[in-house]
């Protein structure tokens, strides 16, 4: 259901934990403009560029405004009633109408996807904990926060009484204290599913309540977050999501339809007068604003994927899971093994073509099929299924860390959602690999990585003119270690960074049948000064033609 009306600041007897006096104490005026968000109990998410309000009582989303290209690292700024977010290096202001206003190109590494505002009104952003920056959304100045740096696989953060909290994909709670600049691994959260999954949204409310949303659709309240034994309680459900981020006004009550399982007394002490006033109001009015939602029993967890055989064979799916056509069922999420060590890579003193083909009937001999239904004919390598994600073939025999990888392809019918893959360390797991592909029926070019259990994490995207059915499009990357430049039809699109350097390359297709017409891998000499910023050990090198 679309939503078009602007959200005005209001104060009601039920569900609002802020009095008019509290609102007046903030720089955001009580009589807000039509495009400002109220500081009220709403929980918001941006889902692959579409702003939405969560309706926990009905397990649904209400969309707000137009569907944009992906953005992330979104936070609600109490000072002015707007949300702010990041895509690549671009800072956006998000209005209550769902409009996205381009503010500035920031001097930061691209691809932040975890974000929220601190008590000083600065937007804190990071890539899963690494490359942590504070952004002044008025002056566009940025400040690196090295004390918080370090990859933790935290997909979102939220500010609870002056401390950021986030949950990693393995269910570990992390805190980032704004006053002491201390990062703490609090520990494993009891009550969360054992199967890994990104917790892409986090919200804070009055009374020091901490909530997180799992991408598969569960909403949890985390209690005991100030202790060494945090606990998760299932308090709601939503449709499943991917590439999402959460935001809320931390001075408002929980969203209607969600329990506050530990009652009105705050677990942590408020550090600001506004937070103290909101906490007192929440406690005093708790009987009126408390909810009666009873969480459903969690669904049984899927059986874990069997460990790969010690011979190093590729992970596979049987065809019953992948399906055979438009009516086939889509296989569920499955954890992958951790990324292997990067094999020895090819070293050259000048640009050297390692693989180039226009494809013929024997071309599949050059690749290992990891997923999907692939056939080769004279002039095309075709992925035939249109009902699943991440159908992949991996080019055999070449490991590179300085290279260009190029493919030209077209859709067989309707949308084009094909792409290229690189930096995959082994045939048994896609964990740590990077992918550049089309989404949104071909109208968005995106780039992202598979995390340490093989789940896709978006880094950035840009809107493009969607290729017509059968229209060829060429994607290419030039990679030097961790530095990646992306091209479409020969035109530079974006620069970004990968977490891991080196590995194999491949071709991918999602929810679409794709015909790949040619592909070329060219090894490049390493720059005189290595640009990589990776902290992982550099892969060993071998000259061209040596055995792997």
Q: Where are the beta strands (DSSP E) in 88-200?
A: 90-94, 100-105, 114-117, 123-127, 130-135, 142-144, 158-160, 163-167, 172-177, 182-188
Using CA atoms, how far apart are residues 318 and 420, in angstroms rounded to an integer? 23
Using CA atoms, how far apart are residues 467 and 414, in angstroms rounded to an integer? 9
Q: What is the mean pLDDT of residues 458-484?
A: 90
Expressed in percent and rounded to 5, the helix, strand and coil fractions of the chain are 5, 40, 55
Q: Is the pLDDT of residue 116 over 50?
A: yes
Q: What count of other Cβ atoms lies within 10 Å of the Cβ of residue 102?
A: 10
Helix (H) or strand (E) holding 321: helix 319-322
Question: 234: which strand partners?
Answer: 220
Q: Is the pLDDT of residue 1 over 80?
A: no
- Please check whether residue 10 is in contact with residue 39, taking contact to mean a CB–CB distance below 8 angstroms: no
Using CA atoms, how far apart are residues 225 and 189, in angstroms rounded to an integer? 9
Phi-psi region of 359 (alpha: psi -120 to 50; beta: other; left: phi over 0): left
- The C-alpha torsion from 130 through 134 and 137 to 141, rounded to 10°, is -110
For the record, the structure tokens of 377 come out as 């004919």
**Coil, strand or helix: which one is 383?**
strand
Q: What count of other Cβ atoms lies within 10 Å of the Cβ of residue 297?
A: 6
Q: Is the pLDDT of residue 487 over 60?
A: yes
Using CA atoms, how far apart are residues 515 and 474, in angstroms rounded to an integer? 12
For residue 538, the model assigns a pLDDT of: 46
Q: Is the pLDDT of residue 161 over 90?
A: yes
Q: What is the mean pLDDT of residues 268-272?
A: 94
Model confidence pLDDT, tens digit, residues 181-194: 999 999 999 999 98
Q: Is the pLDDT of residue 315 over 90?
A: no
Q: Is the pLDDT of residue 530 over 60?
A: no
Structural domains in the chain plus CATH codes = 2-289 (2.120.10), 319-543 (2.60.120.560)
Question: 421: which strand partners?
Answer: 435, 506
Q: Is the pLDDT of residue 537 over 70?
A: no
Q: Given the structure tokens 């967890």, which residue do they identify?
A: 301
pTM of the model: 0.58
Sheet with 163-167: strands ordered across: 158-160, 163-167, 172-177, 182-188
- The C-alpha torsion from 69 through 70 and 74 to 78, rounded to 10°, is 10
Model confidence pLDDT, tens digit, residues 198-222: 899 999 999 999 999 998 899 999 9
Q: What is the mean pLDDT of residues 252-281?
A: 92
For residue 333, the model assigns a pLDDT of: 47
* Low-confidence winner among 53-67, 140-154, 378-392 (lowest mean pLDDT): 378-392
3-class DSSP string for 248-301: CCCCCCCCCCCCCCCCCCCCCCCCCHHHHHHHHHHHHCHHHHCCCCCCCCCCCC
For residue 313, the model assigns a pLDDT of: 29
For residue 536, the model assigns a pLDDT of: 47
For residue 102, the model assigns a pLDDT of: 96
- The C-alpha torsion from 313 through 318 and 321 to 327, rounded to 10°, is 130
Q: Is the pLDDT of residue 527 over 80?
A: yes
Q: Is the pLDDT of residue 27 over 90?
A: no
Angle subtended at Cα 476 by Cα 475 and Cα 481, rounded to the nearest 5 degrees: 145
For residue 302, the model assigns a pLDDT of: 52
For residue 545, the model assigns a pLDDT of: 35
Report residue 363: phi and psi, to 5°. -65, -25
Q: Exposed (0-12), middle (13-18) or buried (19+): which is 21, by Cβ within 10 Å?
A: exposed
């Amino acid at each position: 259901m679309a939503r078009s009306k602007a959200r005005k600041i209001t104060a009601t007897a039920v569900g609002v934990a802020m009095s008019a006096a509290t609102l007046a104490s903030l720089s955001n005026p009580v009589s807000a403009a039509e495009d400002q968000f109220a500081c009220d109990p709403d929980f918001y998410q941006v889902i692959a560029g579409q702003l939405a309000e969560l309706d926990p009582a009905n397990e649904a989303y209400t969309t707000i405004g137009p569907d944009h290209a992906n953005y992330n690292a979104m936070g609600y700024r109490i000072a002015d009633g707007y949300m702010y977010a990041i895509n690549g290096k671009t800072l956006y202001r998000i209005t209550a109408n769902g409009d996205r206003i381009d503010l500035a190109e920031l001097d930061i590494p691209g691809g932040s996807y975890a974000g929220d505002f601190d008590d000083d009104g600065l937007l804190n952003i990071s890539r899963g904990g690494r490359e942590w920056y504070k952004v002044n959304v008025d002056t566009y100045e940025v400040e690196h926060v090295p004390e918080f740096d370090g990859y933790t696989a935290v997909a979102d953060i939220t500010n609870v009484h002056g401390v950021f909290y986030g949950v990693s994909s393995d269910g570990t709670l992390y805190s980032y204290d704004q006053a002491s600049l201390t990062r703490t691994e609090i520990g494993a959260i009891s009550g969360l599913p054992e199967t890994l999954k990104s917790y892409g949204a986090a919200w804070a409310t009055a009374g020091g309540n901490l909530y997180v949303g799992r991408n598969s659709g569960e909403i949890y309240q985390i209690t005991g977050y100030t202790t060494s034994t945090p606990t998760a309680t299932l308090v709601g459900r939503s449709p499943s999501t991917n590439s999402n981020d959460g935001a809320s006004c931390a001075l408002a009550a929980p969203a209607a339809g969600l329990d506050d399982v530990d009652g009105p007394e705050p677990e942590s002490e408020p550090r600001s007068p506004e937070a103290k006033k909101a906490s007192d109001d929440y406690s005093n009015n708790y009987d009126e604003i408390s909810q009666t939602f009873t969480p459903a029993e969690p669904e049984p967890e899927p059986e874990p994927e069997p460990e790969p055989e010690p011979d190093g064979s590729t992970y596979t799916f049987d065809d019953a899971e992948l399906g055979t056509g438009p009516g086939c069922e889509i296989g569920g999420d499955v954890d992958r093994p951790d990324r292997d060590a990067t094999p020895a890579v090819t070293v050259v003193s000048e640009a050297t073509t390692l693989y180039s083909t226009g494809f013929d009937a024997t071309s599949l001999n050059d690749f290992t099929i990891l997923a999907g239904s692939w056939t080769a004919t004279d002039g095309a390598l075709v992925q035939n299924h249109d009902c699943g994600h991440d159908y992949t073939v991996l080019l055999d025999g070449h490991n590179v860390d300085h290279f260009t990888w190029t493919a030209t392809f077209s859709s067989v019918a309707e949308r084009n959602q094909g792409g290229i893959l690189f930096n995959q360390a082994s045939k048994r797991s896609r964990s740590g690999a990077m992918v550049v592909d089309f989404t949104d029926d071909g109208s968005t070019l995106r780039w992202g990585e598979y995390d340490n259990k093989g789940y896709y994490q978006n880094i950035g995207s840009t809107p493009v003119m969607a290729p017509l059915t059968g229209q060829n499009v060429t994607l290419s990357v030039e990679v030097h270690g961790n530095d990646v430049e992306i091209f479409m039809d020969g035109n530079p699109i974006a620069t970004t960074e990968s977490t891991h350097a080196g590995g194999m390359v491949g071709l991918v297709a999602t929810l679409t049948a794709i015909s790949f017409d040619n592909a070329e891998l060219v090894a490049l000499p390493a720059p005189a000064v290595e640009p990589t910023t990776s902290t992982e050990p550099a892969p060993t090198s071998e000259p061209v033609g040596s055995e792997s």
